[in-house]
A and B are shown apart, each in its own frame.
Chain A
C-alpha cells in the first residue's frame, strides 16, 4: 500500500514562528499536494508539485511556501505563522501525468497557532 507519512500529528506554535510541515511518500509518486481542511470549507489546495524542485500555486498559497528537494519529500513552510493558519493540513500524493490518478492522503497535521 502507498503510504504518505506526515511527521507531526499535532503542533502548537506562536504567532510569528516559522513552521515546517513534512510529508514523505514511499511509492515513487510524481505528484504531491498540500491542502488545508477547515470545517465548512472542505479541502483547499495550497501548493502542489509534479516533479522534484517544481511547484505550482494552488488556490490559497498566500502565507505559505513549499520545498521539494527529493521526489519522496514535500515540505510546507509557514514563514511567519498567524492565527488564521490554525487548521488541519493534509498532504497527498499521486502518480504523474494527467489521468484520473487517485490521491493517497496522509493522516494530517493539526496546527494551532496561538
Chain B
C-alpha cells in the first residue's frame, strides 16, 4: 500500500525567507507525484505535478519540486515566500494499481508567512 509522509506540520517564516517542505512516499512501483495547496477559505488546487522526465518541476507562483527517486522524496521549494503563500500544502502520490488511479495524500503542512 502506498503512503505519504510530510515531516513539517506547521512552518512559520518571515517574508522573503526560503521555503522547503519535505515529502516522502512509500511505494515500489511507478508513481505520479503532486503538491496541492489550500488557501484559507478556498478549494484545494494543484500547485505542481511530476509524472516523467525532468525531475525538477516548476509550478505556479514560483514554486518548484524535485523528485529524487533514490530517496523516495518530492520536496517543495520556493526561494522567497510572500505573505500570500500562507496556506496548507499537501503532498500526494498516485500509484497506478489495478488499472485505475488511487491518490493518497500526506497529512499536510500549514505554512504561515509573517509580513
Residues of B32-59 at the interface with A, using a CB-CB cut-off of 8 Å, are: 32, 34, 36, 43-46, 49-51
> B90–A102 contact, CB under 8 A?
no
The interface size bin for chain B is 20 to 34
Complex Cα–Cα for A90 and B103 (A):
13
A-B interface contact total, Cβ < 8 Å: 72
Select from chain A the residue with minimum beta-carbon distance to B51: A100
> B102–A56 contact, CB under 8 A?
yes
Which residue of the partner chain, among A42, A92, A103, contacts B107 with CB atoms under 8 Å?
A: A42
> A106–B43 contact, CB under 8 A?
yes
Total residues of chain A contacting the partner, CB 8 A: 29
Complex Cα–Cα for A105 and B108 (A):
16
In the complex, what residues of B have CB within 8 A of residue A102's CB? 34, 46, 49
In the complex, what residues of B have CB within 8 A of residue A98's CB? 94, 96, 99-101
In the complex, what residues of A have CB within 8 A of residue B25's CB? none
From DSSP, what is the main secondary structure of chain B's interface residues? Answer: strand
> A45–B106 contact, CB under 8 A?
no
Interface residue? A25 (CB, 8 A): no
Interface residue? A31 (CB, 8 A): yes
**24 pairs, CB–CB < 8 Å, chain A vs chain B:** A31-B100, A40-B107, A41-B107, A42-B108, A43-B108, A45-B105, A48-B101, A48-B102, A50-B100, A90-B44, A96-B100, A98-B99, A98-B100, A99-B51, A100-B50, A100-B94, A101-B94, A102-B46, A102-B49, A103-B36, A103-B44, A105-B43, A106-B43, A108-B43
Q: A50-B100, A100-B32, A102-B34 are in contact. List 11 more A-B contacts (CB 8 A).
A: A40-B9, A42-B106, A45-B103, A48-B100, A90-B44, A94-B101, A94-B103, A99-B51, A102-B46, A102-B49, A105-B45
* Chain B interfacial positions (CB closer than 8 Å to A): 1, 6, 9, 32, 34, 36, 43-46, 49-51, 90, 92, 94, 96, 99-108
